[in-house]
C-alpha cells in the first residue's frame, strides 16, 4: 500500500513538473486539481458515504506578517483528515510546495512540519520579498477543500546611496537640490530636517521639517549652512537617516561696533571687529601704514570663532601718543578680502584723584571720548546758567525803568510837597492859557 502511495505521489510530481513546460500555468493548476481528485478517488474508498466524516479545517489560515530575513510559520489544522492528504500551494505562482509529508518545491528555505496527523506547518526560513503572497492549504477531497492565508513580508527602510546626495559645498545665492532615495516595504515616508533642530527658511516659509525626497533651496544663504538629516520611516523598525553637510561659501564681511575709540595716555584700550566668512578667513590687524600687528608686550590680538562668525579683539596696553591714529582689521578668504578702520583718539585723563582706573571708569571715559570729554560737556551747562541769569537781570532792569515815572503818582509818602507841586502846575497852566489868550487877541 505505501509503495503504491509513494509511486503515485512521485508520478504526480513528475507529471506536474513537466506540464508547465508544455502548457500554461492555468492549465497546470486545473490538471493538478484533477490529479489530486483522482488521487483521493483511488486512495479513499468507503468513507465517502458519511458527510460528517469529511475532513474539516479547524481554524482559518492566519495572515502572517514577517520582517525580511526572519522565519515564517503558516499553520493548517485539519480535523478528520483520515486517509486524505494535505498539500501546501503557492497561489500566485501556482506552485505545489508540499504534498502530505513531502516537500515538493526546490526552494531550500521551505520545510514542512506536522504532528498528530492534524497540524501541518509550512515553514519558510529567511523570508524574502519574493515570498510575499497567498498560500493555500488543500485537502484532496472531491470537491477539493482549501483555505488560504497571506504572507506579508515587510522591509525596514534603507537609503539608496547611489541616488542620494552627499556633503555639498555651494556658493551663496545659488540654487541647491538635495536628494534622498529610500526603499522599503511599505514605501517609506521621507523627510528632511536640520540636525540641530533649528527651523529652515524654505523658499520663503519657516519650517522645521520638509516632506519628501527632495530638498530644493532657491537662492541659498549662509543661514542654510549646517548638517541636514534625511529620515526614512515606514513603520517597520528601525527607521534610518542619512546626514548630509551643506556648506555655503561667501566672501568675508565685516562689521565694527565702534569705529571711534578714545583713550588717555597710560590707559589700556581694546578695539573690536566682527567678521563673517566661509571658508574660514584669515584675520589680522594692521597699523595705519599697513604693517601687520603682532602680539607682544604692547599688543594682544585675540579672535574667537563661532561657525562662520569671527570676533577679533586688539588690546593696546599702556597707550602712548604714538598709539593714536587708525587701526585696520582685515579678513581674507579664497573668495575675497575686506577690511575696516577704527580710529583711536586721545581723551583727557580722568581727574588725578582717581589714580586707580577701575573698569567702570574706563568704560565711562570711553563713552565720553566718543561724545566729547567730561569737561566740555559740563561747560555748556555753566554758560547756559550764566546767560539765563544775565537775561533775567536785563528784564528786571527794563521793568524797573518802565515803572520809574509812575512811582511818584502812586506814591503817597509825602503829601504836602505833592500838593505844592500841584498848585504850581495849575498856576503854570493858567498863566500859559492866559498868555495864549492875550497873544491871539
Ligand atoms: C486575511 O486577509 C484577507 C484579506 O486581506 C481577509 O479576507 C482574511 O479574513 C484574513 N484572514 C484572517 C485569518 O484574518
Ligand atoms: C534659481 O531658481 C530661481 C527660481 O526657480 C530662478 O529664477 C533662478 O534663475 C535660479 N538661479 C540660478 C542661479 O540658477
Contact 361, 267 (CB under 8 A): no
Tell me the C-alpha distance between 410 and 418, whole Å: 11
| Number of other CB atoms surrounding residue 296 within 10 Å | 9
CATH superfamily of 173-247: Immunoglobulins (2.60.40.10)
For residue 356, the model assigns a pLDDT of 53
Tell me the C-alpha distance between 266 and 280, whole Å: 36
Tell me the C-alpha distance between 320 and 263, whole Å: 9
Contact 241, 199 (CB under 8 A): no
For residue 174, the model assigns a pLDDT of 97
Residue nearest (by alpha carbon) to ligand 2 atom 10 = 175
Residue nearest (by alpha carbon) to ligand 2 atom 13 = 174
The contacts of residue 111 (CB under 8 Å, 6+ apart) are 103, 123, 125
Residue nearest (by alpha carbon) to ligand 2 atom 4 = 218
CATH of 2-156, one of 3.40.640.10, 2.60.40.10, 1.20.59.20, 3.55.50.30: 2.60.40.10
From the CA of 174, the nearest ligand is 2
> For every one of its 441 residues, what pLDDT tens digit does the chain have, with 9 covering 90 and above?
444 454 444 444 433 443 333 333 443 444 444 444 444 544 444 444 555 678 999 999 999 999 999 999 999 999 999 889 999 999 999 999 999 999 999 999 999 999 888 999 999 999 999 999 999 999 999 899 999 999 999 999 999 999 999 999 999 999 999 999 999 999 999 999 999 999 999 989 999 999 999 999 999 999 999 999 999 999 999 999 999 999 999 999 999 999 999 999 999 999 999 999 999 999 999 998 889 999 999 999 999 999 999 999 999 999 999 999 999 999 999 999 999 999 999 999 888 655 554 444 333 333 333 333 333 333 333 333 333 333 333 333 333 333 333 344 444 444 455 566 667 777 777 777 777 766 665
Determine the distance separating the centroid of ligand 1 and the alpha carbon of 64, expressed in angstroms: 10
CA atoms 348, 353, 357, 362: torsion sign: negative
> Comparing C-alpha atoms, which of 194, 195, 162, 196 is closest to residue 179?
162
Residue nearest (by alpha carbon) to ligand 2 atom 7 = 218
Half-sphere exposure in the Cβ direction for 2 (13 Å, CA) = 2
From the CA of 171, the nearest ligand is 2
C-alpha cell of residue 26: 492555468
Tell me the C-alpha distance between 377 and 381, whole Å: 7
The helix (run of H) or strand (run of E) holding residue 328 is strand 325-333
From the CA of 176, the nearest ligand is 2
Locate the domains of the chain by residue range: 2-156, 173-247, 256-371
The CATH number assigned to the domain with range 256-371 reads 2.60.40.10
For residue 440, the model assigns a pLDDT of 66
The contacts of residue 236 (CB under 8 Å, 6+ apart) are 67, 154, 155, 156, 157, 184, 185, 186
DSSP states of 343-393: EEEE-PPPPTT--S--HHHHHHHHHHHHH--HHHHHHHHHHHHHHHHHHHH
Interstrand relation of 260-263 and 336-346 (parallel, antiparallel or unpaired): parallel
From the CA of 65, the nearest ligand is 1
Among 58, 63, 92, 151, which is best to mutate for testing ligand 1, by the most ligand atoms less than 8 A from CB? 63
Interstrand relation of 336-346 and 325-333 (parallel, antiparallel or unpaired): antiparallel
Cis peptide before 383 (omega within 30 of 0): no
Residue nearest (by alpha carbon) to ligand 1 atom 2 = 63
Residue holding cell 575709540? Answer: 261
Cis peptide before 186 (omega within 30 of 0): yes
For residue 374, the model assigns a pLDDT of 34
Among 170, 171, 218, 221, which is best to mutate for testing ligand 2, by the most ligand atoms less than 8 A from CB? 218
Q: DSSP label at 405?
A: G
C-alpha cell of residue 69: 530575513
Ligand 2 proximal residues by C-beta, below 6 Å:
174-175, 218
Among 171, 219, 220, which is best to mutate for testing ligand 2, by the most ligand atoms less than 8 A from CB? 219
**Cβ density class 399-413: b for 16+ within 10 Å, e for less:** eeeeeeeeeeeeeee
The contacts of residue 82 (CB under 8 Å, 6+ apart) are 44, 47, 53, 55
The torsion of the CA quartet 99, 103, 104, 105, rounded to 10 degrees, works out to: 130
Contact 112, 101 (CB under 8 A): yes
The contacts of residue 36 (CB under 8 Å, 6+ apart) are 12, 85, 87, 138, 140, 144
Ligand 1 proximal residues by C-beta, below 6 Å:
60, 62-63, 150
Residue holding cell 519650517? Answer: 207
> Is 0.85 topped by the overall pTM?
no
Tell me the C-alpha distance between 346 and 118, whole Å: 105
Residue holding cell 510559520? Answer: 73
Amino acid at each position: 500500500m505505501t509503495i503504491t502511495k509513494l509511486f503515485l505521489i512521485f508520478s504526480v510530481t513528475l507529471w506536474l513538473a513537466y506540464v508547465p513546460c508544455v502548457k500554461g500555468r492555468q492549465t497546470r493548476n486545473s490538471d493538478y486539481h484533477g490529479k489530486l481528485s483522482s488521487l483521493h478517488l483511488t486512495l479513499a474508498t468507503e468513507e465517502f458515504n458519511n458527510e460528517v466524516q469529511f475532513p474539516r479545517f479547524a481554524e482559518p489560515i492566519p495572515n502572517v506578517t514577517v520582517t525580511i530575513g526572519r522565519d515564517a510559520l503558516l499553520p493548517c489544522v485539519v480535523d478528520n483528515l483520515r486517509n486524505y492528504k494535505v498539500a501546501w500551494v503557492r497561489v500566485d505562482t501556482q506552485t505545489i510546495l508540499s504534498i502530505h509529508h513531502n516537500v515538493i518545491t526546490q526552494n531550500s528555505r521551505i520545510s514542512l512540519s506536522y504532528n498528530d496527523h492534524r497540524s501541518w506547518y509550512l515553514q519558510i526560513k529567511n523570508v524574502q520579498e519574493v515570498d510575499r503572497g497567498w498560500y493555500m492549504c488543500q485537502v484532496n477531497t472531491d470537491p477539493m477543500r482549501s483555505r488560504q492565508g497571506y504572507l506579508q513580508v515587510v522591509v525596514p527602510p534603507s537609503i539608496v546611496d547611489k541616488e542620494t546626495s552627499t556633503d555639498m559645498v555651494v556658493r551663496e545665492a545659488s540654487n541647491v537640490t538635495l536628494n534622498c532615495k529610500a526603499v522599503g516595504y511599505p514605501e517609506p515616508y521621507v523627510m528632511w530636517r536640520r540636525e540641530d533642530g533649528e527651523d529652515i527658511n524654505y523658499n520663503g516659509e519657516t519650517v522645521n521639517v520638509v516632506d519628501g525626497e527632495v530638498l530644493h533651496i532657491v537662492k541659498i544663504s549662509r543661514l542654510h549652512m549646517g548638517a541636514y538629516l534625511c529620515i526614512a520611516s515606514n513603520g517597520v523598525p528601525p527607521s534610518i537617516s542619512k546626514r548630509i553637510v551643506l556648506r555655503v561659501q561667501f566672501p568675508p564681511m565685516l562689521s565694527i561696533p565702534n569705529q571711534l575709540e578714545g583713550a588717555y595716555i597710560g590707559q589700556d584700550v581694546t578695539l573690536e571687529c566682527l567678521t563673517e566668512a566661509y571658508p574660514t578667513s584669515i584675520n589680522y590687524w594692521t597699523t595705519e601704514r599697513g604693517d601687520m600687528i603682532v602680539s607682544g608686550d604692547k599688543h594682544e590680538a585675540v579672535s574667537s570663532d563661532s561657525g562662520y562668525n569671527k570676533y577679533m579683539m586688539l588690546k593696546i596696553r599702556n597707550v602712548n601718543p604714538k598709539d593714536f591714529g587708525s587701526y585696520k582689521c582685515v579678513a581674507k578668504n579664497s573668495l575675497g578680502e575686506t577690511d575696516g578702520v577704527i580710529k583711536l583718539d586721545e581723551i583727557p585723563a580722568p581727574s588725578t584723584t582717581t589714580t586707580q582706573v577701575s573698569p567702570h571708569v574706563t568704560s565711562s571715559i570711553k563713552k565720553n571720548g566718543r561724545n566729547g570729554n567730561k569737561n566740555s560737556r559740563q561747560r555748556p551747562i555753566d554758560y547756559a546758567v550764566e546767560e539765563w541769569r544775565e537775561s533775567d537781570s536785563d528784564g528786571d532792569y527794563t521793568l524797573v525803568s518802565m515803572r520809574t515815572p509812575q512811582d511818584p503818582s502812586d506814591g503817597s509818602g509825602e503829601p504836602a510837597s505833592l500838593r505844592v507841586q500841584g498848585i504850581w502846575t495849575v498856576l503854570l497852566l493858567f498863566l500859559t492859557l492866559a498868555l495864549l489868550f492875550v497873544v491871539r487877541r
